[in-house]
C-alpha cells in the first residue's frame, strides 16, 4: 500500500518485560506481556480488554484473532500501522469477573493518526468460550 509521499509508520516492537505496559497496568512482563506470550490467560473481561488494547498497539494480530469470538471474528484481523495508540482509560465494567460467564467493559482509547490526536469510546462485550474470555462485539 503506498503512502503518497509520506513515510509509513511501522508498528512499535513489544515493550521489554520491565517497560511500562501500554495499557497502564504496571510492567509489561507482569501485565499484558504474559497474555501476549501465552503464559497467562486473562481472568476477567477487563484484563482481556487491556491485553487486546496493548495487542493493537504493538500489532499483534495473532493474539487479537485468538481472543476474538469465532462467531464474530473477521476472516483477517488488520492493524493499521498509521494509528499510534497513546492511552487507555477504563470507564466502567459490568460482570466479567472470574465468577461470570459474560461481561462488558466501557473504555476510552486515545490515539494519534496523521499527526492528529483522537479518541474512541467503546462498550465492548466479552464472553467465555471453553472457560477463556474472548471479545464478542461492541454494543451500540
* pLDDT value at 69 more than 70: yes
* Correct CATH for 28-139 of 1.10.472.10, 3.40.50.10600, 3.10.450.50, 3.30.420.40: 3.10.450.50
Read off the pTM. Answer: 0.89
pLDDT at 6 over 90: no
DSSP letter for 27, please: B
Closest CA to 69 of 122, 129, 123: 129
What does the pLDDT look like over 101-115, one tens digit per residue?
A: 999 999 999 999 999
CA gyration radius, the chain = 15
Coil, helix or strand for 95?
Answer: strand
Q: How confident is the model at residue 1 (pLDDT cuts 50, 70, 90)?
A: very low
What is the rounded distance in angstroms from the CA atom of residue 123 to the CA atom of residue 94?
10
| Alpha-carbon separation of residue 113 from 7, 80, 89, 117 (angstroms) | 13, 10, 19, 7
pLDDT for position 14:
82
- The per-residue pLDDT of the chain, averaged, comes to 91
Mean pLDDT of 65-79: 96
Amino acid at each position: 500500500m503506498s503512502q503518497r509521499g509520506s513515510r509509513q509508520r511501522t508498528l512499535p516492537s513489544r515493550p521489554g518485560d520491565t517497560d511500562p505496559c501500554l495499557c497502564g497496568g504496571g510492567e509489561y512482563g507482569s501485565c499484558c506481556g504474559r497474555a501476549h506470550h501465552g503464559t497467562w490467560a486473562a481472568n476477567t473481561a477487563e484484563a482481556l480488554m487491556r491485553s487486546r488494547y496493548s495487542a493493537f498497539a504493538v500489532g499483534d494480530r495473532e493474539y487479537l484473532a485468538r481472543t476474538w469470538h469465532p462467531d464474530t471474528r473477521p476472516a483477517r484481523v488488520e492493524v493499521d500501522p498509521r494509528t499510534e495508540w497513546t492511552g487507555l482509560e477504563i470507564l466502567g465494567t459490568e460482570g466479567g469477573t472470574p465468577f461470570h460467564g459474560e461481561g462488558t467493559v466501557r473504555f476510552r482509547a486515545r490515539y494519534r493518526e496523521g499527526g492528529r490526536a483522537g479518541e474512541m469510546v467503546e462498550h465492548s462485550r466479552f464472553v467465555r468460550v471453553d472457560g477463556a474470555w474472548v471479545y464478542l462485539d461492541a454494543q451500540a
